[in-house]
Copies of this chain bind each other. A is one copy, B any other.
């Protein structure tokens, strides 16, 4: 049966996948689709460079192909949406990227979205994506917390940085809604939103939410 939504973390960190899995618990409904979270074994420890983004496309496509018989939809759980258009072109099932869905969801919660990135180096790539999506008219700005993978393990520091960056996006750039520009940080969403006083979008939850409806309605790509 094609009833599972496959949420694929394209980096090889099982801890990140576990975080994603936990964050999706509220979206698992008795009468709704299965939501499975997978780690791309061939992925890099983190998707950081432009090469990381592109290099995961081939193993991601292979994994998605191999799961096709048991999949109702796919969600690519990395804010850079690696392989999004590759999978869309190959598969008849719905394929959603968390970057894309995070931004589109933010567009229902405020007029100008700001994005909290992990590293400065990702921002030019994200700018290209917002422009390719045609939504730069709604973009307020993007700033990075500037922590590496090890530093991200320090939770208090990470949250404090997110609050700082969120405030700057709100006060200096005029953002009235914030997108978390990464997967696996859902645990901070509530406190971050409370601190900022404006809506905060966790993109994996946003994307999986959209995928559920797609599955229930049996919408395929056309």
Chain A interface (Cβ within 8 Å of chain B)? 26-32, 49-51, 54-55, 57-58, 61, 83, 85-86, 88-90, 96, 100-101, 104-105, 107-112, 121, 124-125, 127-129, 131-138, 141, 174, 176-177, 193, 196-200, 202, 205-206, 208-210, 212-214, 216-222
- A105–B205 Cα distance when bound, in Å, is 16
What residues on B are CB-neighbors of A111 within 8 Å?
A: 124, 127-128
Q: Measured between alpha carbons, how far is A101 from B206 in the docked complex, in Å?
A: 13
Q: Closest residue of chain B to A177, judged by CB?
A: B222
Could you tell me if A209 and B218 are in contact, using CB atoms closer than 8 angstroms? no
Q: When chains A and B are docked, how far (Å) is the Cα of A83 from the Cα of B49?
A: 12
Which applies to chain A's interface (DSSP): helix, strand, loop or mixed?
helix
CB contacts (< 8 Å) of A177 on chain B: these are 222
Q: Contacts of A132 on B, CB cut-off 8 Å?
A: 128-129, 131-132
Q: Which residue of B lies closest to A137 (CB)?
A: B134
| Nearest CB on B from A143, distance (A) | 10
Closest approach, in angstroms, between the C-beta of A62 and any C-beta of chain B? 10
